[in-house]
A = this chain, B = another copy of it.
Amino acid sequence: MARTMSTDRIVTLRGDQELVARAGDLIAGARQEFLVAATDPWTFSPGVNAAFARGKRPHMAPGMVMRKLYTPRAVADAESVRRLLKIAATGPEVRIAAAPLTHEAIVLDGRTAILAGAPESGVRTYTVVRTPEVVASIRSLIAATWETADGLAAFSGRPRPDLTEESRRILRTLGAGHTDETASRHLGMSLRTYRRRVAELMETLDATSRFQAGVRARDLGVGG
């Protein structure tokens, strides 16, 4: 029958100090998975960065999944993008969701969720949840948003390579799924030259496999 949860499964903390004091070790103790969803990397700063400063930082162990999901606000200017790229360089994956994430959320190892609430009379509140169903739901929703979010690359202001008409034609034949053999004949050039073109294209697309090249090409709007 209906069963009320034990009270320690959900706790509200008031202010950053209390967050650090009560949840710092929790955050640092993440082992397999560390998910963050927030508007930008500075939202949590007052509290979480204070914790991080004391070494209470989740360790980037091998096999650890560390994902940070932000809103477009996090890439509003070039400076912000640079800071994000620096974050990404230290290990975590970073993506930008199209929609605003008004409430920051952290999920630790799929077992604990830390949810930021609106400030009450100037003091930020944080809710620590351990109820399995609730944490699983939040984790699932973050995963869904993550899935449709763009990688940082789309925002790093990397100038999109300007492709010649021939390059576009080659990308189209590649996208058509032909073999190099038939594609080259179709384009009226030798196999050798065709492959040379493809190699050059992959260079400009910064791709190391044809699959990756396909993804990148699609991002540029060609290939389909």
Residues of A near any B CB (own CB < 8 A): 1-5, 7-14, 18, 22, 37, 97-103, 105, 113, 115-118, 125-127, 129, 131-134, 136-138, 140-151, 153, 168, 174-179, 207-219, 221-224
Q: Which chain B positions have C-beta within 8 A of A14?
A: 1-3
Pick the most buried of A3, A131, A177: most chain B CB atoms within 10 A of its CB: A177
* Copies of this chain in the oligomer: 2
Q: Is the CB of A148 within 8 A of B221?
A: yes
Task: Looking at the assembled complex, report how far the CB atom of A87 sits from the nearest CB atom of chain B, in whole angstroms.
Answer: 18
In chain B, what residue has the closest Cβ to A97?
B144
Task: Looking at the assembled complex, report how far the CB atom of A17 sits from the nearest CB atom of chain B, in whole angstroms.
Answer: 10
Q: Is the CB of B140 within 8 A of A102?
A: yes
Contact of A103 among B103, B136, B219 (CB under 8 A): B136
Given A99-B147, A138-B141, A147-B168: A7 and B5 within 8 A (CB)?
A: yes
